[in-house]
Amino acid sequence: MDFHQPTSLDQALALLAADPEALPLAGGATLMAMLNAELIEPSALVSLSAIDELQTIEAAPEGGLRIGAMLSHATLAAEGRLAGGHAVVRQAAAQIAHPSVRNIGTLGGAVAHGDPSSDLPAALVAADARIEVAGSTARRRVAAEDFFEDYLTSALQEGLPAQPAGAFGHYEKFARVHGDYATLSVAVVLAMKEGKCSFARIALGAAGPTPVRVPDAEACPAGLRPG
């Protein structure tokens, strides 16, 4: 198996376009397990670890944050700029497995793998994230809600839009034992105006093949004053 370590996204995309059997390698948390179990047999691995563009988190020009795909869960869990409504992403990252997995696993790897039991998809849907999909000829942005299409199936870099004023995010994970995948998780972004709910976005994780929005609960009935 060939191994490549390009230093730019364009180089990585060219390598992947030239060899349809090659796979991008992030932290390898899932990919190496699948290789060891002989579930996949790629002709080459294209490591994304030396691409600076994928390692940054910065303010997006249109507001919000742009998060590189190679940021680890541990980095996101400690990222103070993921505040307000964006805190839902920080909290979900902090509840992934154990420190060793959080140090290896990446945002891009979790998103690309699309495991419905994983923690970040529901949080990204609740935060109304846009996922940037880069190909050799073009880049496009897909709403997180449309990105996760089925079990381990996605439309394939990250963008979090600006959140409503005063929004705050919260992520709850219920698991059989601490550090396990979720039995059910709830990601909520809520904004209050004059003491009343003015915006709500709720997504459940591990509740189906993709994150599940809860429109009835998001309706924010006039006068609702969460206790």
Ligand X SMILES: Cc1cc2nc3c(=O)[nH]c(=O)nc-3n(C[C@H](O)[C@H](O)[C@H](O)COP(=O)(O)OP(=O)(O)OC[C@H]3O[C@@H](n4cnc5c(N)ncnc54)[C@H](O)[C@@H]3O)c2cc1C
Q: Give the shortest CB-30-to-ligand X separation in angstroms.
A: 3
Q: Which of 13, 15, 22, 23 binds ligand X (CB under 6 A)?
A: 23
Distance from C-alpha of 6 to C-alpha of 42, rounded to nearest angstrom: 17
User: What's 185's DSSP letter?
Assistant: E
Q: Give the shortest CB-165-to-ligand X separation in angstroms.
A: 30
Q: Which of 15, 71, 82, 110 binds ligand X (CB under 6 A)?
A: 110
Q: Is 154 in the site for ligand X (CB under 6 A)?
A: no
Q: Which two tokens stand for residue 128?
A: 């109304």
> Tokens 């976005």 sit at which residue?
201
Q: Which of 119, 192, 202, 207 binds ligand X (CB under 6 A)?
A: 119
67 or 97: CB nearest ligand X: 97
Distance from C-alpha of 17 to C-alpha of 81, rounded to nearest angstrom: 35
What region, left, alpha or beta, does residue 60 occupy, with left being phi > 0 and alpha being psi -120 to 50 degrees? beta
Q: How far from the centroid of its chain's Cα atoms is residue 1's Cα?
A: 29
Distance from C-alpha of 124 to C-alpha of 108, rounded to nearest angstrom: 12
110 or 197: CB nearest ligand X: 110
DSSP secondary structure string for all residues of 62-100: TSSEEE-TT-BHHHHHT-TTS-GGGHHHHHHHHTSS-HH
120 or 202: CB nearest ligand X: 120
25 or 192: CB nearest ligand X: 25
Q: Is 116 in the site for ligand X (CB under 6 A)?
A: no
Q: Is 77 in the site for ligand X (CB under 6 A)?
A: no
Options 2-10, 24-32, 189-197, 212-220: segment touching ligand X (CB under 6 A)? 24-32
Residues in touch with ligand X (CB under 6 A): 23-31, 33, 48, 69, 73, 96-97, 101, 104-106, 108-110, 112-113, 118-120, 156, 181
